[in-house]
Every structure is written in structure tokens, then in C-alpha cells.
Amino acid sequence: MIKGLHHIGVVYKDFSKVTEKIKDLYMMSEINIVEAIVEVNTNIKELTEPLKIKIGFARLGITMIELFEPLDDKSIYSEFLETNPEGGIHHVGIMVENIDEELKKWDSKGIKRMISGILPTNRFVYYDTREMFGYVTELLDNVPPPPELLNRNK
């Protein structure tokens, strides 16, 4: 079951150029920024190394804006910038109750998985809904995965 909108994922070549504008216009006190190396499984191209990205997290009411800046040219975020050099909305993150049930439902509709990942706090899958909606849809849960799934990514 879908619980609701969790975040909007926006990709920029250099998001430091927009963070102050976002904070000012949306009256946010801060945007938390981290550099991350993320292990993912991919269904769109071969990845031999983890994704290297800078991520900014900005809370806007109950919804989050996630800012992504690729730090290499091997990710779906850098691929997005090839066709959208100014950046823009890349994906919409939808929180789900039971990710396994939702994956079965989305897979049965023939929607292609792009990438998936297992983090210490949750699991996520990007589906290619660009032709339907003009953006990617990310399904995520807020349930820590079992240890055997976490250990599989190491």
C-alpha cells in the first residue's frame, strides 16, 4: 500500500548554486549535505563501482527535497544531466507500507526497474516511469532490512 509522497529528487551539476535560493525562497533554515558512496544494483547499465554523489536534504513541511549532484559520470544522475544540462526534477519518492508487495505489483505491470539499493535504514527501487509521467518513480520503505540483505551488499 502506498503511504504517500516522501520526497522530490532534483539533480544539478552543482547544487551549491541553488541551495541559498532554495533556503531563502522556501524559508528553510538549513540543507544538510553529505557526500555518499552508494552500492546499488542496476538494470540500465553496468556499474563496476559504487555511485559517488553529493546529496542535500531539505525538509519542506512533511515532504523532503533531495538535491543530487553526481561526483562521477557513472550514475543515472550524470546520465540525466546529459539530456538535461541545467538539471531539474529527476524522480518522485513514494513511501510504501510493504515494499515487496509493491515491487510485485509494479513488476506485474511491466514497468522497468532502473536501480535498487539496500541502505541501513530502508530499501529503495527506481522505476522508469519517464514515458508515463516525465520523471522516474522511486519506491521506498522505512523498515530496516534484515541483516542478511545488508550483508549481501558488502
For residue 11, give the CATH number of its domain: 3.10.180.10
The pLDDT confidence band at residue 35, using thresholds 50, 70 and 90, is: confident
The answer to whether residue 126 scores a pLDDT higher than 90 is yes
> pLDDT by residue (tens digit) across 94-103?
999 999 999 9
Output the nine-digit C-alpha cell for 135.
520523471
Average pLDDT score, the chain? 87
The identity of residue 142, as a single letter, is N
The answer to whether residue 144 scores a pLDDT higher than 70 is no
The pLDDT confidence band at residue 154, using thresholds 50, 70 and 90, is: very low
Mean pLDDT across the stretch 43-47?
Answer: 55
Q: What is the dihedral of CA 44, 45, 51, 52, to 10 degrees?
A: -120
At residue 96, the pLDDT reads 96
Q: How many domains does the chain have?
A: 1
The CA angle 136-74-92, to the nearest 5 degrees, is 15
By residue range, what is the domain housing residue 50? 2-152
**Residue count of the chain:** 154
- Name the strand (E) or helix (H) holding 130: helix 130-133
